[in-house]
Structure 1
Amino acid sequence: MKHASRILTFAVLAFTFWKARALGTAWFNSPYDQLSWAAFACWVLTPLAGGAIRAGGEISWLAISLCMSIAGTVGDLSVLHAAAFATAVGACTRAGWERLWWFAGFVSWTSALGWMLNGCSSMQVICIRLLIAIIASWPWFMGRRAAA
């Protein structure tokens, strides 16, 4: 596994974050996306707290992230921009099954989940989002506790 420089990693993270900026608007304006930022915070802070973050990202994950972002732009699909940002963040985490499990939890903070759960109440959607984020982050949290 080759790792990119810190500058390249930061550039890809910044670019994909900028492309996924519509999430912020949805998080505060859409009734089904309210408190998605809390699920995002739970999802993104767990690897940091679990000591799974490293300075240089994996080149393969960064390349996939850029491809997803370009596809999201071409297809005008915000879910691909969110997936691209999640992949860029995932590039900066420790490799292993925990990363793949955690990565799947990115759906907890996307607008697509709110759309899929539009038959549920806003409170149910919030609870489902947080539950997905917590379950996805659990292996790294437990791994940190076992190491302590």
Structure 2
Amino acid sequence: MPSDPSSPPLQENRPSRRGILATLGTMAAISTAGCSAVIPGSDSNSDDDSIEVTVGNETDSEVAIAVRVIDSEEETLFSHVFSVESGKMIGRGAIKTTPAKIHVFTADGVSRTWKYAPDLPPEFDCELKDIGLTLRQDNTIEPWYTC
């Protein structure tokens, strides 16, 4: 039986070429984000340096982790609530000033406050050290630093 010429042609449920290219571009951008120090020709000591806050979750469920970074005058430099899936790590921020303290807490009452005092080996050659923290399985928060 011939098909009805007035009916629209059947389309397969497959992504368009434009959608695939957009996805690949996004994946490439994400994979290189934060890695400018390893890209040839990049200057890790430029005036554009900023501190990123990275949060990891080693618990068995998704968790909301609030992070507040303040300077020596108690002014907020960074404040964000991260929603982090189990086993994942995410980062955000562009702090341009050297912090004094980091406050972290969850809705379940887990909290920790510490002074910004990175003590990294000399091979970490960066002026401003990124702030990292990991929520452990035992509901403790482990702070760490990196470039």
Instruction: Report the TM range for the smaller structure's normalisation.
Output: under 0.3
Report the TM-score when normalising by structure 1.
0.28
Q: Which has the higher contact order (CA 8 A, sep 6+)?
A: 1
In our comparison, the structure showing a higher alpha carbon Rg is: 2
More strand by share: 2
More helix by share: 1
Report the TM-score when normalising by structure 2.
0.28
